Amino acid sequence: MRRNKTLGFEELESRQLLAVMTDGPLVGAVDSTSARVFLRTDDKVRVAIEYSADPTLRGSLTTPSVKTIKANGFTAIIAISGLAPETKYYYRALVGGTAQQQSSFPS
């Protein structure tokens, strides 16, 4: 039988924590088939936007990921294209592949 190792404080402290979103997501530059989403994280990480016309994000699409870096204040502006005109979309930010909100935002 294998026992789980309990980590000490020093071991836990030395591990890098996952980055999280600190600002956003904010939608802008919207036209009939595209939009841009701004967000900021607390550290460098790959970010993307998951979006769908379904409020539960069923059949969602995900943008290519972009890396937030210190030189840009850990911010990203992510382009979404190929949207259907006059359609309500729902979206959420993915930071390091993890959804940052419990529910999607309408846009």
pLDDT of residue 41: 96
Going from the C-alpha of 22 to that of each of 31, 34, 74, 101, the distances in angstroms are 26, 24, 10, 12
pLDDT of residue 63: 98
Burial of 76 (0-12, 13-18, 19+ CB in 10 A): buried
Q: Which amino acid is present at 74?
A: F
Give dist(CA 27, CA 91) in Å, integer. 10
With tokens 């701004």, the residue in question is 38
pLDDT at 8: 60
Which residues of the chain, if any, have pLDDT below 70? 1-17, 107
pLDDT at 100: 85
Note the pLDDT of residue 35. 97
| pTM, full prediction | 0.81
Position 6 scores a pLDDT of 60
Q: How far apart are CA 73 and CA 58, in angstroms?
A: 33
